[in-house]
Every structure is written in C-alpha cells, then in structure tokens.
C-alpha cells in the first residue's frame, strides 16, 4: 500500500457522512466488469458499516478499453448536477451492458431528471474536464487500473470482495500495510 495520502474534497461525490471514521475512495469505470463486482462489494460494506463509512466515487474511465465508459461517466455527472449522482451510479452498474447514449437518456428519464438539461449536458460535454481532472489525479496518486481503492487515504491493493474489504477495514492499518 502506498504511503501517499488522499483527501476527500468538496467536489467529491460522498455517500455517507463526510466525517465518518472510515473512508473508502474508488477510482472506477462504469463499463469495467471488475468495477461491477466492486460495486456489489461496496454496497455490502456500506450496509454493514452504515454511518461509520464515507464512500467516494471518482471517475477513471478506461476509454481505450471501454468505449462507453466516458459517456457513462458524463451521465453520472450530469445526474449529479441534478442531485441524483448515486441513483445514476447504481443504474449504470446494474445495467452495465447498456451504456449507449439512448440508454443513458432513458435512465435520466427513469430517475425523473430534467431530460432536456441532461441531454444538453451530454452533448456539450459539460463535465468532461472534471472527469479528466479525476483521471489525472488518479494517475498521479497511483491508480493504474479499475477499480483502484484508497482506504483511509492510502492505496489499498488487496482483495476487494465484500469479505476482503471488511477484513482490511476491521483489521485497521496493519491489515492493509498502512
């Protein structure tokens, strides 16, 4: 595990209390099959830990491998601009095989978003620079693939199954090399 520490910032999408004693940051790609497995793991960990966990998702689309990852990341951000990031995040992972723009617009409609605004945000690539910043930051701190996790500010390179993540969290820094 890297000794480089990362912090949760004001622009981050945070699920849980920002001041929770445990923070888990994921750099992820909505089209990555490993991230879909991690989504299930994180969902379980959030249920177990409740308010003790602050989960942050940052975009890290691997566009050279996943052509729909960038539009999906932009869709998540466009939904976030309307207060529904986490709802879109869930829909994208639960419908990972359908991430083309028409499907993304359908998800926006399903969530009750202002679809015209959503489509405009996608067409104008309103959130592209934000996503690129997250990718650059991820690369700077050592995210090489997806998912890349940081537990309590430090790179976590262990098992990201539900049991693996919980063991690392409950075992404290010694369990993950921190």
Express each pLDDT in 53-111 by its tens digit.
999 999 999 999 999 999 999 999 999 999 999 999 999 999 999 999 999 999 999 99
Q: Which residue has the higher pLDDT, 9 or 27?
A: 27
Q: Is residue 77 part of a domain?
A: yes
Give the predicted TM-score (pTM) of the model: 0.92
**Domain range for 32:** 13-176
Q: Is residue 36 part of a domain?
A: yes
Q: Is residue 86 part of a domain?
A: yes
Torsion-angle region of residue 12: left (phi > 0), alpha (psi -120 to 50) or beta?
beta
Residue 116 has pLDDT above 80, yes or no: yes
Q: Is residue 1 part of a domain?
A: no
What's the mean pLDDT when you consider all of the chain? Answer: 92
Torsion-angle region of residue 26: left (phi > 0), alpha (psi -120 to 50) or beta?
beta
Residue 168 has pLDDT above 70, yes or no: yes
Residue tagged 């940052």 (tokens) = 58
Q: CATH no. for residue 131?
A: 3.40.30.10
Compute, in degrees rounded to 10, the torsion defined by CA atoms 152, 154, 157, 159.
-10
For the chain, what is the domain count? 1
Q: Is residue 91 part of a domain?
A: yes
């Amino acid at each position: 595990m890297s000794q480089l520490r990362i912090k949760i910032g004001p622009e981050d999408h945070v699920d849980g209390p920002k001041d929770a004693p445990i923070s888990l940051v994921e750099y992820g790609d909505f089209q990555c099959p490993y991230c879909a497995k991690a989504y299930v793991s994180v969902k379980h960990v959030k249920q177990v830990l409740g308010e003790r966990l602050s989960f942050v998702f940052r975009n890290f689309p691997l566009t050279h491998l996943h052509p729909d990852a960038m539009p999906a990341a932009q869709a998540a951000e466009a939904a976030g601009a309307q207060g529904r990031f986490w709802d879109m995040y869930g829909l994208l992972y639960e419908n990972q095989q359908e991430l083309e723009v028409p499907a993304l617009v359908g998800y926006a409609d399903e969530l009750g978003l202002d679809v015209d605004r959503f489509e405009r945000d996608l067409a104008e690539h309103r959130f592209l620079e934000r996503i690129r910043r997250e990718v650059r930051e991820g690369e700077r701190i050592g995210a090489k693939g997806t998912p890349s996790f940081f537990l309590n500010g430090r790179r976590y390179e262990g098992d990201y199954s539900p049991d693996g993540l919980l063991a690392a969290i409950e075992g404290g820094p010694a369990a993950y090399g921190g």
